[in-house]
Amino acid sequence: MAVLNRPEVRNAVNFEMMDQLAAAIQLASEDEGVKAFVLTGAGEDAFCSGGDLREFHQLHTFQDAHRMLFKMSNVLRQLAFLPKPSFCFVNGAAVGGGLELATACDFRFVKKGARLGFIQVRQAITTGWGGGSLLLEKLDSQRALDWLMSGRIISVEEGVESRFIHSSMDAMEKDDMMNKLEPYMQHEGTAVMAYKEMLIRKWRETGLAERMEQEVERCALLWEKPAHLEAVNRFISK
């Protein structure tokens, strides 16, 4: 199990965490003894609050922003295209890039009462790690656009109703997680992986990876605009 382990900053993503995630996903891909990739966050308050703006606030230019966005989008692409099932246990708030990361997993189990939202538009940018493109693969376009364009907070109940969330959970102790995994882990791994390969083949044929790259480009263009820099400064000064 991979754990986002920066609870002091609500498990916000920095460059070190990007490298750790990439290494964990690669290990899961290569190790024949690993049947699935499981991701959660440390602590009880947050799964992931997105990118660590206190570290990324110095990124002002298109080039600087693109470097960061592209690096993390590669992690999401690596996770989405992992030839094994992936499970995300959202143990608390998942907003901005945090919800993009959860979207890259195949299955999402979310703690009741968790705060969810694609809030990037509030900062005058788009999703920038490829999460918008992934969301449009996993939801009907009208609901996906509503979530992305409004930047509103999404209830766990709505997430379950839309089937974006596979089920809600009262608690996320290890036994609770294992109970959710058991229906998928009881079968022969090669058969399970064959279904994932069907999905990956579809995504390759429809150019999902290329669309994720275009999303990065668009976000980087908006990143250097005054509206975003002002929004970040307001956040930092809180």
Q: What is the pLDDT of residues 128-180, one digit of tens each?
A: 999 999 999 999 999 999 999 999 999 999 999 999 999 999 989 889 999 99
pLDDT of amino acid 89: 98
Measuring CA to CA, which residue among 22, 165, 157 is closest to residue 88? 165
Question: Which region among 7-11, 39-43, 50-54, 73-77 has the lowest average model confidence (pLDDT)?
Answer: 50-54
**Residue 206, in any domain of the structure:** yes
**Residue 207, in any domain of the structure:** yes
**Residue 80, in any domain of the structure:** yes
Indicate whether 236 pLDDT > 80: no
pLDDT of amino acid 205: 98
pLDDT of amino acid 189: 81
Measuring CA to CA, which residue among 124, 79, 84, 76 is closest to residue 100? 76
Residue-number span of the structural domain to which 13 is assigned = 2-172+188-236
Band the pLDDT of 79: cuts 50, 70, 90: very high
**Residue 28, in any domain of the structure:** yes
**Residue 96, in any domain of the structure:** yes
Measuring CA to CA, which residue among 10, 159, 185 is closest to residue 98? 10
Q: What is the pLDDT of residues 86-119, one digit of tens each?
A: 999 999 999 999 999 999 999 999 999 999 999 9
**Residue 183, in any domain of the structure:** no
**Residue 224, in any domain of the structure:** yes
Indicate whether 235 pLDDT > 90: no
pLDDT of amino acid 237: 76
**Residue 21, in any domain of the structure:** yes
DSSP E strands, 13-169: 37-41, 46-48, 86-90, 93-95, 107-111, 116-117, 167-169
* Residue in the block written with tokens 């290990």: 27
Q: What is the dihedral of CA 88, 92, 96, 99, to 10 degrees?
A: 20
Number of domains in the chain: 1
Cβ partners under 8 Å of residue 62, min gap 6: 220, 221, 223, 224
pLDDT of amino acid 119: 97
pLDDT of amino acid 187: 86
Sign for the pseudo-dihedral over CA of 26, 39, 219, 210:
positive
202: domain CATH number? 3.90.226.10
